[in-house]
Structures are given as C-alpha cells and as structure tokens.
Amino acid sequence: MPTDQNNTTESIIEVKDLTVGYGSNIVLQNLSFSVKRGEIFVILGGSGCGKSSLLKNMIGLYDPPCGSVLIEGQNIVTAEGDARQQILTRFGVMYQQGALFGSMNLLENVRLFLEEYTQLNQDEMSLIARCKLDLVGLLPFESFMPSEISGGMQKRAAIARAMALDPDILFLDEPSAGLDPITSAELDQTILSISRNLGITFVVVTHELPSIYTIADRIIMLDKDTKGIIAEGDPRWLREHSDNPQVRKFFNRGADAAHDTNPLQPATIPA
C-alpha cells in the first residue's frame, strides 16, 4: 500500500550480524543487509546454502544464535507477547508448498487472518478477501478447495492469503519451485503487478534465474562455503560485471545452457 512517507530509500528490514544455524551446525555467519521499502529483494544461492533458513529467521520462526532482524525498526528476534504479535501483522508469508488449509475453501483461507485480527463483520471480511483473490486472478475459484486447484493457483492463493491484512512486506519462499515456465512467468507478473500497484516490499527466496531477472530489484547471493553473502546488487549488473567467478557462473549458467548445443541433437552440417 502507498504509505504516508513513501520514501523508497528507507530501509524496511535491517538484518544485523545475524548467524543462522541449528545447534552447533552454523549455516550462515554474521550476515548484515537491509531491504528497502517497496523493492523486490531476492535471496538466492545454491541448494543447501541456507536461503530458506535465513527466511525463517527473518520471519521469526527460528531463533538465531545471535544477531537481530529489525522489521520497521522492531527486532523480531527479541520481541515477545503483543510486541511480537504487532510485528507479525506487518508481514505476510507464502510458503513453498502454499500451505493453504485443506479443510477451507480459498475465500475462507484468505478470510482466516481477518477473522483473527479484526472486528469486521462477515460480509466486510468476505469482500476484502474477494479483493485479494481478484488481485491474483482467482476470484472465480473462491469456493474451490485447495485440493481442487493446480499448484500454481495454490501459490497464488497463498499470496492472496498473505496479503489479507495488507502487510507492508511479503516473504515468498521459492514461489516458482515446481511450476511450469508459463505458470511461473504468470506468477512473476502477479508479483510485479502487486509490487508496482500496491508498493508492497517483497523478500523472495528463489534460485530460478528467469524469475530473478524478471522481478528482482536487488539480490543477495549466499554461499555455502563462506557461510555469508558473496554478492549484492542488481542481478543484471552482477551477471556482467561481478569479479567473483562463482557469481558469474551462477548467473551465466542459464545463458550458457541456452547457447549450448544439445549433445543429443545431431550437429548441423553447414551447406
């Protein structure tokens, strides 16, 4: 949503000296970065580098061994009780598998958080929920159960549910995973349109290169070996100019693969 102070350089999330890990297994160490209000910020990296773990620390699901995550100035790591509840209403989360509640239809899924957090009546909540479903193109499916719709639609419905309380920030965990290229591109367009029209800040975890080039304003790349950030900035710029060979390799893999000759195809003989 457009805000009172629509300052695009203002940080909405600040991660300071964050260490991510389970027990003695440290996955990421001393991470510091910030996310600007209204931007689409992508966390990327190879499999097992701790992208999803970082996201879960940022949304307060896991307690990090040390460090802080400030969401609109409030530290979610140390917040408790009402203060924590207050922070939780500031953002919505879309999980990798959608995580829609199977016993509720799409409208009820979206309405659930409105029922929990507001005093609006049923008709008012339903209208707000329908608006959210309309934004992701699922209004005609409002009475469908999650099991009756496709994986891509489930993810879009999960985005609608995450937007129910009009959060300032949306966290998306691997939105394109398991989707075909067309559905994935449609989902990217949904994210772009929500970001541009509503000014919502997106934090997206993904390693799908086409998605990254389409939606990302800024990225950070995580690395398993150094347990930290190895690149930060515009993905298109990094692809061309990064000094780090690992970063170039990550970004150019898609382009190289596209230009590679398919070894299964017979070579074309020039006339």
Partner 1 sequence: MTQPISMQPANDAPHALADWHCDGAVAILKLSGHLNAHTLSGLWSKAKDDQRAWLAQSGSGSGSHLTIDCQQVTYLDGAGIAFIIDLEHAQEAAGGQLTLANLDARYQPLIDQYRPIANLFPSADTNHHVHTSLIERVGRGAYDLAEDAKQQTVFIGQIASSIGWAIRHPRQVRWNDFINVAVEAGVAALPIVSLVAFLIGVILAFQSAIGLKQFGAETFVANLVSLSIFRELGPLMTAILLAGRSSAAFAAEIGTMTVNNEVDALVTGGIDPIRFLVLPRMLAGLLVAPILSLFSDLIGVFAASLTMLAYQIPFVTFYEAVLKTIHINDIMSGLTKSLLFGLIIAGVGCLRGMQTGTGAAAVGLSATRAVVSSLILIVMVDGLFAYISYKTGF
Q: Which residues bind to partner 1, rule: CB under 8 A? A: 1-4, 6, 102-103, 114, 117-121, 124, 127-128, 130-132, 134-135, 139, 141-147, 163, 165-166, 197-198
Nearer to partner 1, 49 or 128 (CB): 128
Cβ at position 25, least distance to partner 1 in Å = 27
Measuring CA to CA, how many Å separate 112 from each of 18, 116, 119, 203?
32, 6, 12, 23
Structure-token match 């958080």, residue found: 113
Nearer to partner 1, 34 or 97 (CB): 97
Cβ at position 160, least distance to partner 1 in Å = 11
Cβ at position 116, least distance to partner 1 in Å = 11
Cβ at position 264, least distance to partner 1 in Å = 25
State how far the Cα of 84 lies from the Cα of 12, in Å rounded to an integer.
Answer: 16
Nearer to partner 1, 112 or 145 (CB): 145
State how far the Cα of 156 lies from the Cα of 134, in Å rounded to an integer.
Answer: 10
Measuring CA to CA, how many Å separate 233 from each of 78, 216, 218, 247?
29, 10, 5, 12
CA–centroid distance for 2 within its chain: 20
Structure-token match 């086409």, residue found: 210
Nearer to partner 1, 27 or 125 (CB): 125
